[in-house]
Structure 1
Amino acid sequence: MDLENFQKESRSDFPANKKLLDRLKRLKPKELDQEFENLHEEVFEEIDCLECANCCKTTSPIFLQTDIDRLARVFRQKSAAFIDEYLERDEDGDFVLKYSPCPFLGTDNKCLVYEDRPKACREYPHTNRKNMRGILNLSLKNTLICPAVHKIFRQLDKEYRK
């Protein structure tokens, strides 16, 4: 995966993707969910996250208390010790990683805690869920992080271009 080229393309496409949001918001919620789900399936048949791992290299998931407790058990730590070692609060008061890339990302782009990873990691990039309308702004931001989301937006733009 050529992440440098992806970053250039995704930044270049961002203004058009932002305009696309207005068109997508006019769709019926079920229709929007179905469009994303179909494209999610199609795009992830072509894209292998292990070739990229840009999400793990550049951003942090939100860690819920259940995620913290689960990972603390994996590392045989108390939750407070896990928080002290790996996490900080962001501007919204959520727990996020202190630094990137993710300390649990292996050199082969595999997650070292895959079976116990946070809920946000399990669900990323959130393009195959219900109520896509509620996370369209997040999905727009994810076009700059995830090549799959970028590709989904490109497909949607072709389909819903004025």
Structure 2
Amino acid sequence: MNLDLYKKQALQKQKEHKKFLDGIKKKPPKNLDYIVQETHDEVFENINCLQCANCCKTTGPLYTEKDIERIAKHLRMKPADFEAKYLRIDEDNDKVLQHLPCFFLNSDNTCSIYEVRPKACREYPHTDRKKIYQINNLTMKNTLICPAAYEFVERIMKNLAK
């Protein structure tokens, strides 16, 4: 998987993608949620996250209190010790990883805490959300990181053009 090529294509298509997503926000098609789910499923039939893991290498998830408690318990740690060892507070006052790539990313791109991973990781790249137009800025950002998000926007443009 050529991540540089994806990012280059995504950068070239930013204006086109933004215009398209803004159009959906202004006038969402009646069956948008259905099309989004269908397109998401289609994309993930062809893309294997384990070949990439770019999200784990370049972007850190936000950790909720529930995430911290669940993961700390799994690691047999106190939540405060987990936070001290792995997390920091960012400029938005969110709890995020101290540094990247993710501490829990294995060399084969698997996740050592997959069963208890943060909610943000479970939902990434957020291409199966209802009312997807509510996260247009995030979708745009994700097309630069995630080949599946890029592919999703490309396909949804084609699917809605039908």
CA distance in 2, matches of 1:160, 1:47: 21
SS in 1 for 2:56: helix
CA distance in 1, matches of 2:136, 2:4: 25
Kept in 1, the 8 Å contact 2:7–2:143? The answer is: no
Kept in 2, the 8 Å contact 1:32–1:133? The answer is: no
- Give the deviation of 1:158 after TM superposition: 3.3
The match for 1:48 is 48
The match for 1:158 is 158
Report 1:10-159 matches (<5 A): 10-28=10-28, 31-159=31-159
SS in 1 for 2:96: strand
Gaps of 5+ in 1: none
Identity %: 49
Q: C-alpha offsets along residues 63-95 of structure 1, whole Å, 9 cap, x if unaligned?
A: 110110111112222111111111111222111
1:3 equivalenced with 2:3 (yes/no): yes
TM-score for the superposition, normalised by structure 1 = 0.91
Q: C-alpha offsets along residues 104-125 of structure 1, whole Å, 9 cap, x if unaligned?
A: 0000000010001011111111
The RMSD of aligned alpha carbons is 1.6
**Number of residues paired by the alignment?**
161
Q: Which moved more, 1:71-80 or 1:152-161?
A: 152-161
Kept in 1, the 8 Å contact 2:61–2:97? The answer is: yes
Q: C-alpha offsets along residues 6-27 of structure 1, whole Å, 9 cap, x if unaligned?
A: 2211112112111112221134
- Give the deviation of 1:28 after TM superposition: 3.0
- Give the deviation of 1:29 after TM superposition: 6.6
Gaps of 5+ in 2: none
CA distance in 2, matches of 1:102, 1:31: 37
Amino acid at match of 1:104: F
TM-score for the superposition, normalised by structure 2 = 0.91
